[in-house]
Amino acid sequence: MFKGFLSRRLSYFLMILFIILNSILIYFDIFYLLVLPLVILFGYLFIFRLDLIFLAIVFCTPLSFNFENLDLLGIGFYFPTEPMLLAFTVMFLFKALYVKSFKEVISFGKKIGKLLVITRGEKGSIAIKDDEVIECESKKNLNIVDLTGAGDLFAAGFLHGLINNFPIKESLKKGTEMSSKIIQKIGARLN
């Protein structure tokens, strides 16, 4: 009871402080503090809900503005997609550095309640759906020439199996089969 009361009072204090500071800054024609709630919201989402940020990036991609012709140190970029992707990548890598073991990845995959597929190179692939963990070994004794397209063809094979209602284990095998074919050739084409 006391803890909730204290946090409510603190939030009211912060809101009133924000309104006062914003009023003073607007009086002096400084409008930067107006974006603070948006920055706090995106910060929260970047820390705790990367899945929603990823969906926002996908949504913003066709709406992005091309700043390629701006004289900004000769660098062209798409706004807001590329800055969001950069922040997404940094946050993802930051979180990945603090994962202690693969068991934590498995437990995280079980928590999200969606189908999660992880490729692990020579260690094979793994799919997590709800509390079920399905593993598939990689093919052995391959003449590996070029890894270009391995992930794409794994995804294509897996999705082919998933769309055709194969069991997840069979879909993993199909993805592994496709990726093992492409890594034995130079380039990303099977023909």
Q: What is the pLDDT of residues 60-108, one digit of tens each?
A: 888 887 777 666 666 677 777 788 888 878 777 777 676 667 787 788 7
Given a cut of 70, the residues of the chain with pLDDT beneath it are 1-6, 69-75, 96, 98-100
Domain that holds residue 80: 2-97
Looking at the domain assignment, is residue 188 inside a domain? no
Q: Where are the beta strands (DSSP E) in the chain?
A: 65-66, 78-79, 116-119, 125-129, 132-136
Are residues 24 and 86 located together in one domain of the fold? yes
Are residues 70 and 86 located together in one domain of the fold? yes
How many domains does one find in the chain?
Answer: 2
Looking at the domain assignment, is residue 176 inside a domain? yes
Looking at the domain assignment, is residue 189 inside a domain? no
Amino acid identity at 142? L
> What was the pLDDT predicted at 2?
47
